[in-house]
Every structure is written in structure tokens, then in C-alpha cells.
Amino acid sequence: MRILEWTSAGLNRVSVEHVMRTTLAATASLAIAELFRLPEPSWSAISTMVVTQSTLGAAWTISGERFAGTALGATAGALLATYAGSGLPVFAAGIFALGMVCALLHLDRTAYRFAGITLIIVVIAASGPAWKIAMHRFFEVSLGIVIGLIMTAVWPERSARAQ
């Protein structure tokens, strides 16, 4: 396929490099999570996908918010599930409290969103001890963040103008 045909099909060098970069990062993240026998390795690959969709500067920002939110959500979820159970009122109180904590810590809505997602996984969707699920979630997401940041630093995103 010639370059002219690629361009008319919506493909260009920047797009293809982006796909290759993202595929390599997500695959490496999943492989490493599986190597360490993490119970939900897909969370590592998902986190890597989120991080590698940005430039390095934007990746640092989203990574910090995702890391903070995941840590808050894992901690809150483990505490709530261990000491208060996992019903609807506990869930609602947890989501509300996380929002207030994020606001008090001056974290943006991205951190709150990731905190809430983690709380849901630990309190509502967990099929085991809450602290164990929370730790696994935190490690899986953190691994994905690290792999995504490494890939973004080693193989930076190029703009369409850089062709």
C-alpha cells in the first residue's frame, strides 16, 4: 500500500506509530502483570492504555491523578468493606466521602473518578477479602502507570505536524 493510499484511508505515519506504541506498551504491561501472577492483569493494561494516549506532560498529570485516586479508593474501599460491609448505603457514603476528600486535597475530578471506580471494585464487585482486592488493584494500576510513563518517555508521541 502506497503512502498516498494510506493517507486517503485515514492512516499516516503518526497514526501508525501511535498504534504500535500503544500496542507494545499495553502488551508489555499485561505480560509483566501476568509474570507477577497478579489476579486481574487486565487493570494493568487498561491503565497503560490511559497513560499512553497522551504526550509525556499530559501523561504525568493523568498518572498522578490516577495514582492518587486509586490509592484513595483502595484504602477507602478496604476500610469500608472491612468495617461497614458492602451494601448500597455504604457504597453511597463511600462515594460521597471520596468526593469530599478529593475536594479537600485539591485533587481534580479525574482523581475522584478513579477513586470511585476503585471503591466500586473493592466494595461492590470484590470476590474476596477487601484488603487483598484493594492491594491487588493498587499494584495492577500502578504497574500500568509505570509502564505507560516509561513508554511515553522512551517513545514520545509525535504531532501530525512533525511528519
Give residues with Cβ within 8 angstroms of 15, minimum separation 6: none
Digit-coded pLDDT (tens) for 15-71: 889 899 999 999 999 999 999 999 999 999 999 998 887 788 888 988 999 999 999
Every domain of the chain and the residues it spans = 3-162
Asked whether the beta carbons of 98 and 131 are under 8 A apart, the reply is: no
Percent of the chain with pLDDT over 70: 90
Asked whether the beta carbons of 143 and 38 are under 8 A apart, the reply is: yes
